[in-house]
A and B are shown apart, each in its own frame.
Chain A
Amino acid sequence: MSLVNFTTREITCKIVYYGPGRSGKTTNLHYIYGRVPETRRGRMVSLATQTDRTLFFDFLPIDLGQISGFATRFQLYTVPGQVYYNATRRLVLQGADGVVFVGDSQARQLDENIESLQNLQSNLLEHGVDVRAMPLVMQYNKQDLPPELILTPPELDDALNFRSVPSFAADALHGKGVFETLKSVSELVLKKLAAGSPTT
C-alpha cells in the first residue's frame, strides 16, 4: 500500500485496531465516526452479527483534506477479535501502516490480551513485518469499570507493554482516550513515512 504518493500528492494511512474480542475496537471507530464532520468521513462499513460482534471488520475512511499540499486520507479498520477469525485478521492487517492495540483492562481478560498480542506479532510476521518496525500504540480500554475489576494502566504496561510503546488509558464508550490514541498512532505513522522513501 502506498503511504505517500508524491506523484499524485496523496497520503494514505491504514490504521488497524487490533485486540481481543470485546475489547472495544469497534467502539473506538464509532466514537471517531461520531466526531468526524459528515463531509470528512466516508460511509462506515460495519459487518456485525445480531449480537453486535464484528464478524469481518469495520472500515471507516476519513478525509483530512489537503495537508501540506497532500490529499490526506486515513483508513481505520478493526479486526474481529474472536480467536477463530484469524484469517480475516491477517487479511485486514495486510498493508497496515499502524496498529492500535486495544486491550481489555479487566483483570480476567489479561490472558486474552496477551494471546491477542502474540497473535498480532505472528500475523505481522506472516506479512513479513517485524512488530518492532510497525508503528504501534496500546490502549487500555474500559478504565471506567469498577476499580476492583480492572488493572491500572501501570499494571497493564507491566504485563503487555514490554516494548514501551505509547500507551493510553481509555473509555471508548464515552470517548476518553480515543482521539489521543488515534493522534499518537498517526504521529508515529507519519514520522515513519517521513523517514521512508516515497513509493508509488
Chain B
Amino acid sequence: MKTRAVQIPSGVLSPRGEPLGRPLWLGALFVLGAALLLAATAAPSFGRESPTPQNPPGSMILDAKCVIGFDNIKPGAKGTLTSLPTGLEFTAGKKKADITTPSIQDIFTGRESRQDVGGVSGTLVETAIPYGGGRFFSLFSHKVDVLTVEYADSTGGFHGAIFVLSAGKAEALKNQLIAQGAKVSTHVNVPEPGEGKP
C-alpha cells in the first residue's frame, strides 16, 4: 500500500507539531451546538397565537410581563395578571399591585412582534456565531398583545401601566374592564412597528 506524505505548511502547526485546526473545529462545534439548543427551545413558540380571545371573568393570565407602571414592581417583571370584578391585579412573586376600575382613565391595546431568541444570553450566543450566522435566529419572532392602562392614584396623580400578554388576550381583558365601567376614549390606531413597509 502506497502512502503519500502530505506537506503541511509550518504556519499551521503548533510548537508540538500538531495541526492547529482541531481547537477551531471544537469551538465551531460548541457554538453550533449552542445554536441548535436555542433553536430547539425557540421552536415551539414559532407562530404561537391563540385562536379565540376569551378570558372568563376572574381569569388569570400566567405569562404576563409588566413592562413598567407600578412603584413596587420592578420594570420588566414577569407574573400573573388577574382580572377581578374590581379591576386588575398583577402579581410578581410576593409583590402585588392593583388598578381599580374606577381609577382607570383609558385603555389601549396593540400588537407587536417579539424575538423568539432574545435576552442577554440569546444575544451573546447570536453574536458568538461566526460570520454573522446568529442573525438567522433574529428572523424568528412571535406576536404578542400589549395592554396599556392609564389610571390615577388616590391623590389624582397620573400613572400608566404596560403589560405584554400572549396574543389575543388583551382585547378580551379590555372588554371586561369596559363592562365593569372603565373609561375608554376613541383611539387612532398606530400601525405596528416594522409593518406596512414596502
Are A and B interaction partners? no
B interface list, Cβ under 8 A from A = none
A interface list, Cβ under 8 A from B = none
